[in-house]
């Protein structure tokens, strides 16, 4: 029997202020605090997808530009929703004063792109 993964469990995200990030993700994406170790990480999530929030080092630079192809590593976290959820997300982000790029047509899906309060890259997408 060969090994196979079941699903993505969590993504580690470095933030300037863990408590502020917990509030931002709760307010903007509806993520809830699931568990917190002391001093870190704080595990937040919804629907079986989680983020592990870690404290960044003081004066850490923000993430690279979304269109940059420099370096290697993870680029963004994408959250899946329905068409109705996608439309509601755009209104919700606008109501919270969060600028986003899109909607972008990917033939099989639509996406919007934005950053969290620490400039980590995020996406909300739905498939046709």
Asked if residue 66 belongs to a domain, the reply is no
Residues 46 and 88 in one domain: no
Residues 50 and 13 in one domain: yes
Q: Which of 31, 15, 34 is nearest to 23 (CA)?
A: 31
> 């989680």: which residue's tokens?
50
Instruction: Check pLDDT > 60 for residue 66.
Output: no
pLDDT at 75: 73
Residues 83, 69 contacting (CB under 8 angstroms): no
Give the residues across from 12 on adjacent strands.
52
Kind plus residue range of the DSSP H or E element containing 21? helix 18-29
Q: Which of 73, 90, 72, 69 is nearest to 81 (CA)?
A: 90
Residue 102: CB atoms within 10 A of its CB come to 16
Q: Write out pLDDT tens, residues 3-59.
A: 777 878 899 999 999 999 999 999 999 999 999 999 899 999 998 899 999 998 877
Residue-number span of the structural domain to which 125 is assigned: 76-128
Question: How many structural domains are present in the chain?
Answer: 2
Asked if residue 28 belongs to a domain, the reply is yes
Exposure of 43 in the CB half-sphere (CA atoms within 13 A): 9
């Amino acid at each position: 029997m060969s090994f196979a993964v079941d699903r993505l469990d969590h993504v580690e995200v470095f933030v300037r202020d863990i408590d502020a990030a917990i509030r931002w993700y709760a307010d903007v994406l509806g993520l809830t605090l699931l568990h917190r170790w002391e001093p870190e990480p704080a595990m937040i999530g919804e629907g079986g997808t989680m983020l592990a929030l870690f404290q960044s080092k003081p004066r850490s630079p923000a993430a690279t530009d979304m269109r940059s192809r420099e370096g290697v590593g993870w680029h963004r976290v994408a959250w899946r929703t329905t068409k109705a959820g996608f439309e509601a997300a755009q209104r919700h982000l606008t109501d919270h004063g969060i600028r986003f790029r899109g909607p972008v047509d990917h033939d099989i899906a639509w996406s919007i792109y934005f950053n969290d309060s620490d400039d980590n890259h995020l996406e909300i997408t739905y498939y046709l």
